[in-house]
Amino acid sequence: MLSFQDFFTACAGTWQTERTYHSVLTGEVERSYTEFRADTLDQSEKQRILIRSPAQPGQVAEQSFSGIQIALDRLLQSPLSWFGFAISFATRSETGEEVAMSLKALFMPDEFVLTQPKAVKPMPLPVAAQVPLDPAGEMIQGFYLRDQGYYQPGAIAGRFTYQPTRQTLEMTTYYKSRSPLI
């Protein structure tokens, strides 16, 4: 069984995956093939993503991401409790559409979140993930914060669940549009 830290250490490198996209509104299902590279971010790189520079001299740096307020002091005291990657990938869909991009993502457990937008609630676990947990409380849920969305421009926040028993990281992002960025 991999700890949260060990899971992210094992994920660094070059990977090939097949993914399936589901559109709830249209009922469409689309498959794609992706090659990607994940490199871990060091502590200073992670902090740069979270603490954006002020827009005007004399203003305080922003310490929130997509409306999510972070307990930055606690977070910085626990560097092995949150993780980040620089990710680059190239995807080809079964219809021949190609998308390539690079982004940075942070995985922030809920224990470091002070406030969040009202519209963003923890998701129920998928039926396949609802397995008894032993020991209780080992599952970790939180936000994954990306500096770039896949289907819409700009920073975006999604939800994640990590289950050490299953060694799975499940991520869900809710987009307002369906047009991928090119």
The residues near 106 (Cβ < 8 Å, ≥ 6 apart) are 41, 46, 49, 50, 65, 82, 83, 84, 144, 145, 146
* pLDDT tier at 54, thresholds 50, 70, 90: very low
**Among residues 147, 87, 143, which one has the least CA distance to residue 115?**
143
| Residue scoring higher pLDDT (18 or 21) | 18
| Largest distance between two CA atoms of the chain | 52
pLDDT tier for residue 64 given thresholds of 50, 70 and 90: low
State residue 180's pLDDT score.
47
Q: What is the pLDDT of residue 63?
A: 52
pTM given for the model? 0.71
Pairing of strands 68-70, 113-115: antiparallel
**Which of the given ranges, 11-20, 70-79, 116-125, has the highest pLDDT on average?**
11-20
What confidence score (pLDDT) does residue 38 get? Answer: 92
Q: What is the DSSP letter of 52?
A: B
Per-residue pLDDT, averaged over 92-98, amounts to 92
35 compared with 121, residue with greater pLDDT:
35
Which residues have a Cβ under 8 Å from the Cβ of 130 and sit 6 or more positions away? none
